[in-house]
Amino acid sequence: MIGALLLVGFAVSLFVGFNIGGATTGPAFGPAVGAGVISKLMAGALMATFFFVGAWTLGRRVVNTLGRDLVYDPGIFTIETSIVVLFFIGGALFVGNYAGVPASTSMTAVGAIAGLGVAAGELNWAVMGEIAVWWIVAPLLGFWVSGVVGRYFYPTINRWIAIDGSDGDLLTVDRSGAVPIPTSGPNTTRREIVGVVVVVAIGCLMAFSSGTSNIANAIAPLYGAGVDMNLLILLGCGAVTIGALTIARRTLDTLGNDITDLPLTAAIVVAVISSGIVIGLSAIGIPASFVIIATMSIVGLGWGRATRSITVSEGVRGEKKPNVSVGALTAEEPGEESPDIGEEDPADTPSAAELFNPETTGRVVLMQNVVPILSTVGAYATFYVLFRFWW
């Protein structure tokens, strides 16, 4: 009987890992895919590789936190309770992935475990409170830092980087020799290659960070029930790989294209800010809301860029001023000066609607709150009934 239950537990854990791959690939590589740097297939392969490295190394610490420290008595993690917890985690994440919105796996998993802990009277509220505070602070930090960069500093950064997509393929394959050799495209510039390397490398770093924090969301309940951690990490990463190569295509579209139009410079800015916050949280042992931080960084940058498209028609003392655009993000060519705020040519700047999609943003924010609530409330209600009327 226990063997059959354990197989069910493995199956549900794999389902959770599959949905984690779908939910986290978008924030890590959505900017690179949206900027046309890499394909969705390549994004999935890179996600799988670096997620595994993060899970096998630092991810063990977070597994121990969720499987042991979040509740006073780890004994509440039986095979039966672990299956129920994983069911709510996977089910809630699937709702978000089906809607094309990457939900926070950390919030969803911790919510389900917290539902079990509250129903059993074993939740460590001190640990839960510390995690919850950082979940509020970190996304706001990502949004406002990105917003400020988009509003005030992006033109200067764009002038420094000044990487526009060249015509033709970025890379080609020289098949003249015995071994095919990748080479740069005929119109590819050195600055463009450097920018591509940077944005992909940062995406890989984000995938690594995701592995350190998110592997626990798929396997921590079973680890608390006594299953070997190494086996669980291997199984979880395998499921993440499948999710990254399949269902993640929907979230890559949402994060790379639908929220805001991301040129290569913007992709680099988003990746640097969000990965920096995630790494900082991992360093202090907090299960990071990877998806929320990255998503809000993208939203913040799009909002900051859009707010530069304000029309001013009246002067301070009432004299009539000519209409001027407060310039959004122009794609300056190398060597061009970036216009100061209020000096941009309206004809050269995209509209706010082109830079920031409030409708899609609202859908993303709504679903990223609904999904964790589903897992938390569902787990609590289920365990409340089971503990009092069944077990």
Q: Is the pLDDT of residue 117 over 90?
A: yes
Cα distance between residue 204 and residue 46, in whole Å? 7
CB 362 within 8 A of CB 99: no
pLDDT of residue 33: 80
Distance in Å from the first CA to the final CA of the chain: 17
Q: Is the pLDDT of residue 309 over 70?
A: no
CB 282 within 8 A of CB 58: yes
The single residue listed with the structure tokens 């609530």 is 373
Cα distance between residue 307 and residue 147, in whole Å? 9
Percent residues over pLDDT 70 in the chain:
70
Percent residues over pLDDT 90 in the chain:
20
User: Quick one: 108 exposed, middle or buried, by C-beta within 10 A (0-12, 13-18, 19+)?
Assistant: buried
pLDDT of residue 87: 87
CB 308 within 8 A of CB 349: yes
In angstroms and rounded to an integer, the radius of gyration of the C-alpha atoms of the chain is: 23
* Residue 267 identity: A
Binned at pLDDT 50, 70 and 90, residue 165 comes out as low
Q: Is the pLDDT of residue 146 over 70?
A: yes
CB 61 within 8 A of CB 96: no
336: left (phi over 0), alpha (psi -120 to 50) or beta: beta
Q: If you count them, how many residues does the chain have?
A: 391
CB 298 within 8 A of CB 325: no
Strand-pairing partners, residue 71, are: 123
Mean pLDDT of 334-361: 48
- 232-258, pLDDT tens digit by residue? 999 999 999 999 998 887 767 765 555
- 32-64, pLDDT tens digit by residue? 787 677 888 999 999 999 999 999 988 888 888
Mean pLDDT of 95-118: 80
Mean pLDDT of the residues in the chain: 76
pLDDT of residue 346: 44
CA distances from 234 to 190, 220, 294, 343 (A): 39, 13, 26, 56
Q: Is the pLDDT of residue 155 over 50?
A: yes
The single residue listed with the structure tokens 């510390």 is 130
Mean pLDDT of 175-185: 67
Mean pLDDT of 368-391: 84
Cα distance between residue 119 and residue 110, in whole Å? 14
